[in-house]
């Protein structure tokens, strides 16, 4: 039961990263690929009807985590207090900037909200990457199962790391670059004209950086947490994850050369999901590793909610997630195809 819920939460987080990842990625690249006002509107219209729904995956995953693993929710959320609050502020700023840009006619205001959209999207991408890296590296959990991390210490990963050290910053940069690639492939898929061409050019430019940083992330992870490959030794099936990472990355340049933008975007989806699956496979059955030797790892067994909660949860969760997938299909089918360069594409 615990392992099942572990994978449920992990796959919801993966859905979040894959889906909200592309609109965050659009934000990261937005200033560079979309130069003119019609192009910027085209880029925003491509995420307009969906970005809010994508963000719901974060809330739904958070809620599921809350009831399935209350101890993890309590410990991790309070331990990462300050960065989480900053993430909340960035989410507010980002939502507001997308919305308000659409309601203002002034070019100066457009410039301001464009800047805010880029700034908040870019920092969110970095924070999410760093957050995942913090979980993989582990945190100094105390005897009472709680911890409190400073934002930074001396930059090293030893017994007293900060939220930002060399390893988590690497994770943040990787997430930033990977989401930029993801966003550019989404734009290549959903837009047309010069914007599409420029997005493809950016995807080609960013791709090698993703490749290099991904390759670096493996030895870096082993350095940051030496035990992180243990599961791979005992369960070779876990190697499917890195294989999928490689496959996903490899698809992208071939697909782009053939003009198969959908395949390229799906390759990027596979890459992101497989990276997360790889991290999750390395952690299981630990949810949050403890470093420093004071407290214990927070494991599935220790954090799991009561059995009855989880049994009934499984029933409604399966039903609810099918509905969510159904809505997702309806929306994406209705807004299928490219966003036109002309402004009457969507809307009334």
Partner 1 sequence: MDILTLHRLHFAFTITFHYLFPQLTMGLALLIVVMKTLALKTGNERYDISARFWARIFAVNFLLGVVTGIPMEFQFGTNWSEFSRRTGGVIGMPLAMEGIFSFFLESAFLGLFLFGEKRLPRWGHWAAAFLVFLGSWISGFFIIVANAWMQHPVAYQLLPNGIFEVGSFWGLLANPWAWLEYAHNMSGAVITGAFVMSAVGALYLLQRRDEEYGRLFLKLGVIVGLISCITQIFPTGDLHGKYMAKNQPAAVAGMEGLFHSEKGAPIILMGQPDMENQTIDNPLVVNKVLSFLIYGTTSAEVQGLDQIPRDQWPSALPLLFYSYHIMAGLGTYFVALMALAGFLLWRGKLYSARWLLWPILLSFPLPYIANTAGWMTAEIGRQPWLVYGLIRTSQGYSTHIGVGTSLFTLLGFLGMYSMLSILWIVLVYKFIQTGPAAPHHDVSGFNVTAA
Cβ-count burial 264-280 (b if 16+ within 10 Å, e if not): bbbbbbbbbbbbbbbbb
Cβ-count burial 163-184 (b if 16+ within 10 Å, e if not): bbbebbbbbbbbbbbbbbbbbb
The residue among 148 and 254 lying less far from partner 1, judged by its C-beta, is: 148
The stretches of 225-306 forming alpha helices (DSSP H) are 230-234, 240-257, 261-283, 300-303
64 within 8 A of 9, measured Cβ to Cβ: yes
Q: Minimal distance in Å, beta carbon 237 to partner 1?
A: 29
Q: Minimal distance in Å, beta carbon 305 to partner 1?
A: 4
The residue among 106 and 293 lying less far from partner 1, judged by its C-beta, is: 106
Q: Minimal distance in Å, beta carbon 63 to partner 1?
A: 3
The residue among 115 and 227 lying less far from partner 1, judged by its C-beta, is: 115
The residue among 186 and 207 lying less far from partner 1, judged by its C-beta, is: 186
The residue among 40 and 225 lying less far from partner 1, judged by its C-beta, is: 40
The residue among 236 and 306 lying less far from partner 1, judged by its C-beta, is: 306
The residue among 106 and 219 lying less far from partner 1, judged by its C-beta, is: 106
The residue among 44 and 163 lying less far from partner 1, judged by its C-beta, is: 44
Q: Is 315 left (phi over 0), alpha (psi -120 to 50) or beta?
A: alpha
Alpha-carbon gap, residue 267 to 318, rounded angstroms = 27
Q: Minimal distance in Å, beta carbon 140 to partner 1?
A: 12
Q: Cα dihedral sign for 104, 46, 273, 248?
A: negative
Among 286, 142, 161, 157, CA closest to 222: 157
Among 282, 172, 149, 173, CA closest to 226: 282
Calculate the alpha carbon distances from 271 to 44, 119, 181, 240 in Å: 24, 25, 11, 12
Q: Minimal distance in Å, beta carbon 267 to partner 1?
A: 26
Q: Minimal distance in Å, beta carbon 216 to partner 1?
A: 31
Q: Max CA-CA distance within the chain?
A: 61
The residue among 223 and 296 lying less far from partner 1, judged by its C-beta, is: 296
Q: Collect all residues with Cβ–Cβ distance below 8 Å to 44 and sequence separation of at least 6.
A: 98, 101, 102
Any idea how long the chain is?
Answer: 348
Among 54, 202, 17, CA closest to 128: 17
Q: Minimal distance in Å, beta carbon 203 to partner 1?
A: 25
Q: Collect all residues with Cβ–Cβ distance below 8 Å to 288 and sequence separation of at least 6.
A: 72, 75, 76, 135, 138, 139, 141, 297, 298
């Amino acid at each position: 039961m615990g392992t099942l819920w572990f994978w449920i939460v992990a796959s919801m987080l993966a859905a979040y990263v894959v889906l909200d990842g592309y609109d965050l990625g659009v934000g990261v690249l937005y200033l560079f690929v979309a130069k003119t006002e019609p192009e910027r509107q085209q880029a925003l219209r491509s995420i307009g009807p969906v970005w809010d729904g994508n963000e719901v995956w974060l809330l739904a995953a958070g809620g599921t985590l809350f009831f399935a693993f209350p101890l993890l929710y309590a410990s991790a959320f309070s331990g990462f207090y300050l960065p989480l609050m900053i993430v909340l502020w960035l989410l507010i700023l980002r939502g507001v900037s997308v919305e308000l840009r659409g309601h203002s006619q002034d070019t100066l205001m457009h410039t301001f909200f464009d800047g805010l959209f880029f700034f908040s999207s870019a920092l969110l991408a970095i924070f999410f990457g760093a957050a995942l890296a913090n979980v993989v590296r582990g945190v100094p959990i105390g005897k009472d199962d709680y911890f409190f991390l400073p934002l930074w210490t001396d930059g090293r990963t030893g017994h007293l790391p900060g939220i930002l050290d060399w390893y988590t910053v690497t994770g943040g940069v990787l997430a930033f670059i990977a989401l930029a690639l993801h966003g550019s492939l989404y734009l290549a898929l959903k837009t047309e004209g010069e914007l599409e061409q420029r997005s493809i050019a950016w995807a080609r430019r960013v791709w090698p950086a993703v490749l290099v940083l991904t390759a670096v992330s493996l030895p870096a992870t082993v350095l940051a947490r030496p035990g992180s490959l243990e599961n791979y030794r005992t369960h070779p099936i876990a190697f499917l994850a890195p294989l999928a990472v490689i496959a996903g990355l490899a698809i992208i340049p071939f697909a782009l050369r053939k003009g198969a933008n959908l395949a390229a975007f799906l390759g990027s989806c596979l890459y992101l999901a497989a990276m997360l699956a790889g991290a999750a496979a390395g952690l299981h059955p630990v949810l949050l590793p403890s470093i420093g030797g004071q407290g214990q790892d927070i494991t599935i067994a220790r954090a799991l909610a009561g059995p009855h909660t989880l049994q009934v949860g499984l029933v409604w969760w399966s039903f609810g997630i099918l509905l969510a997938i159904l809505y997702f299909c309806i929306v994406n089918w209705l807004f299928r195809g490219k966003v036109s360069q002309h402004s009457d594409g969507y809307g009334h």
